[in-house]
Amino acid sequence: MTELEKLDLLKDYLKSLGSVAVAYSSGVDSTFLLKAARDVLGDKAMAITAYSGLFPHHELEESKRFCAGQGIRQIIFDPEEMSIEGFAQNPPDRCYICKKALFSKIKSIAAENGMAYVAEGSNMDDMGDYRPGMRAIAELEITSPLRQAKLTKAEIRSLSHQMGLKTWSKPSYACLASRFAYGETITKEKLAMVEQAESFLTSLGFGQMRVRIHGMMARIELLPEEMPRFFEGSIRAQVQDRLSELGFSYVTLDLKGYRTGSMNEVL
């Protein structure tokens, strides 16, 4: 099946829902899904955005600009994850604990606004790895239209490009809690350290990357092709100095490079 055939399948599926609230983060997948829902359902599609310290502030601003530009109704709420029982202790099923509470709230907001369904943006590439959050999605009967249409990340980027969406080449982000080693307590202070560290690397021109936190050590994951530039000129020293300013005692570069779910490798 071609990507255009999958796009038609997606639109048919969205049309069958009648009305939908998209859990919108401003990432590649949720932006594409929200745009498709808006095109098919018009005002019967809306965005619900959770904003807290688990996502960089610029992501919220990008979500607001997109919804305003597309004329999409958006509701923003604070999920207060740090108050969710068990979340801050960061057990291996942290993502399940968080998503169960998060999407329960999103379902409530959607119902209050007359939306028949809630949709989230996972795609076919999200079917592997260790993803306990998907169990919460299933239990709450949240729909996953991109998976229904069998769309992969590469196809979503390609179709987003064709649709003129600026997010088509945007690096993949994830909840900042995913930067913490399991069992390490998640705090607002350490979340801010990670956000600022990644923001600094972005300002230096690095694309897809992560700053993982282990105690007070930062483990930087870069794309293999970008590693040589890390050692060019003064970049290495700049990174060391800035991350030390942020409170990291040690700064390391992971020789395996960037990969999703690296914290799951110990499970």
* 263: confidence class by pLDDT, cuts 50, 70, 90: low
* 133: confidence class by pLDDT, cuts 50, 70, 90: confident
Residue 130's pLDDT is 67
Helix-then-strand count for the chain, H and E: 10, 7
Among 51-60, 70-79, 125-134, 189-198, the least confident range = 125-134
* 131: confidence class by pLDDT, cuts 50, 70, 90: confident
Residue 237's pLDDT is 96
Residue 167's pLDDT is 97
* 140: confidence class by pLDDT, cuts 50, 70, 90: very high
Residue 259's pLDDT is 87
* 172: confidence class by pLDDT, cuts 50, 70, 90: confident
* Mean pLDDT value of segment 79-101: 93
Q: What is the rounded average pLDDT for all residues in the chain? A: 94
* 233: confidence class by pLDDT, cuts 50, 70, 90: confident
* 129: confidence class by pLDDT, cuts 50, 70, 90: low
Distance between CA atoms of residues 195 and 8, nearest Å: 37
Q: In the predicted model, is pLDDT for residue 267 greater than 60?
A: no
| All structural domains of the chain | 3-169 (3.40.50.620), 176-266 (3.30.300)
* 266: confidence class by pLDDT, cuts 50, 70, 90: low
Residue 264's pLDDT is 66
Residues in contact with 191: Cβ distance below 8 Å, sequence separation at least 6, in sequence order: 53, 54, 176, 177
What is the separation, in whole angstroms, between the first and last Cα of the chain? Answer: 35
By CB atoms closer than 10 A (0-12, 13-18, 19+), residue 158 is middle
* Mean pLDDT value of segment 53-70: 93
